[in-house]
Structure 1
Amino acid sequence: MADAVLKLAYEVSRVTEEKVALIDDVMRRTGVLALNARLEAARAGTAGAAFAVVAQEMGSLAGDIRAISGDLREAVANNIEKLQSAGSQIQFELRGERFADLARSAVEIIDRNLYERSCDVRWWATDSAVVDALANGDGRSLRFASERLATILRSYTVYLDLWVADRKGRIVTTGRPDIYSSAVGADVSGTEWFQKGMATTSGDDFAVCDIQRSPMLGSAAVASYSTAIRAGGARDGERLGALGIFFDWAPQAQAIVEGIGLTGEERESSRVMLLSSKNLVLASSDSNGMLTETYGLRHEERGRGYYRTADRIVAFARTPGYETYRGLGWWGCIEQVQRLDE
């Protein structure tokens, strides 16, 4: 609707200018004729006196019409400018609201996905094979736990690996020892995921870290979830160690930012992003800046909104969280470069 209003305003402006220019041309020619008529009347002397009066009136009439034409051009131009301004504002607000909704949709989709990850880590930490790997610590228990983790990974393809660490922070078994061979035996006691996982107060709790690259997982970007593995798999059991699960971030997040419902034309001029609470680019539809670019989002403490810069519109929405997953304060963000006529 706003696009139609703007196109109509531009067309009215064009047609008005064209027609007023034609009137100006006719009046210019009329003025020239009136001048010539007065000259001829002057040559005719008294015989041309009456005609001189007519010529004078023709000149006056041409002047009046030129004045009216000028007033019309000015009035139309002023109102067209107001109409264009109103149409541009309507277009900006409609697009801003729509993009803000799409930005929220992007961050909601990823948080719903990550909520499932929080469920996975709490569930798998109670698996008897995982608990026995730490409770017994013998080779047979560790191998069985590894086989169990490998079975999970074959079904849940969004994970790179699953690690079991003892209470000292040494990884004792994993689901993919053949692929990530440096993991088993590694000391992870200083890592955020292990420390937060061991600090959980019950089996109902979990820990999540912002997206980071993991050297032991081929420097892949991962979302790390963890919780304590407890004696007997009990909710309040003694903490034996921690389970860490590592979500393969890049392909999952890329599919979300590329799949947001923009038109083909909008997609060509837009960038859809997921941003951390500190505006670090976590994913971008143009595949640029992941974990290296800090985007200059101006949310001004608003949880949702949009604004305009010199040549673009930026819409944003903060995650509302999902179920028991409160999220990490991430943002969905859409930036669109504007055409000069918008």
Structure 2
Amino acid sequence: MTDDRTRTWQPLPTDRPVRVALLGHGLAGSVFHGPLLAADPRYAVTVVMTSSPERAEAARSAHPGVEIVPDADAVWERAGDLDLAVVATPGETHARFGIQALEHGLACVLDKPACTTAAEGAELLDTQARTGVPLTVFHNRRFDGDFLTARRLLREGRLGELVRIESSFEVWKPTVTKAWKAGASPAEGGGVLYDLGPHLIDQAVQLAGPVEGSYAVLRALRAGALADDDAVVVLRHESGVVSHLTASTRARRPGPRMRALGTEGAWTCHGLDGQEKALGAGASPNDGDFGEAGSDRGSVLTTDAGDEAVPLERGDYPRFYAELADALQGRGEVPVDPADAVGVVGLIADLHRRHPVRPRP
């Protein structure tokens, strides 16, 4: 279904909040998108889509006065009173709901992954180009303090010429705790490479440029896992830089979060950015210390002069929605180009095709 708004999308007015429909109120909707939207006065979450009574109650508590609807069709019926759809549902639905939002004239934020196949990605981008309605993807890890620090050090030339990036998201989850994740195949967006890989690959591309070659070892190590829960990816960038990326649920002791090697120095960072943990514990993005690195996070630059402790940049997830509001009101670009996100998914899909998941013997 389409209407005239799909052909005549105009920047939104600045004298009222952006009216948001939040599709999904699980982890992504309740921990990431919901709190960030609630903390920014330029947004108003007016509709939440969920069929769970428990999640509906949580949404009413988080967004007083919100209307709860059971499915996407009910969201689209209200499109005339909405401006933005935030899609925080399981990965295999992202592209479909994103296309429907654009066709109903609603600007759209897709949680990652933006899609699960190259064909879906192409349709998504074609729909955005045809309708002219803004589309972006929640690659929030571009606003992690460690990534911002790595980018700053490279911009300042403190590493010299970049040679290699090592980046990992490693946790210890020895058993499968979510049945829907265990039963999702890679084609449905299942597995750690589709879950965490978009962040790792997107960060590497942002730091080192386009990819010209790739290799992966993908394994399913946990009992009951049908998709990969341990992934090692090597990217060869057109710049000559090589990225070593690791995502795993089987790391009792995680290695460095990030290491960047250059011709003049090396930078190493330990520990995960704390914004996700803080949001999950109920912190507000408006808290004075939100995004600040904890004392458990080490960041060291090593050069001929020795080791130097480097303060981590403050993490800034709220910046995603601040930049989006500017874009929707005609004062800038969307925070993440959807073509970047679709390109990342295309790489992941190709890695799965060329290097199928190796189940545990």
TM-score of the superposition, structure 2-length normalised?
0.20
Greater relative CO, 1 or 2 (CA 8 Å, sep 6+): 2
TM-score of the superposition, structure 1-length normalised?
0.21
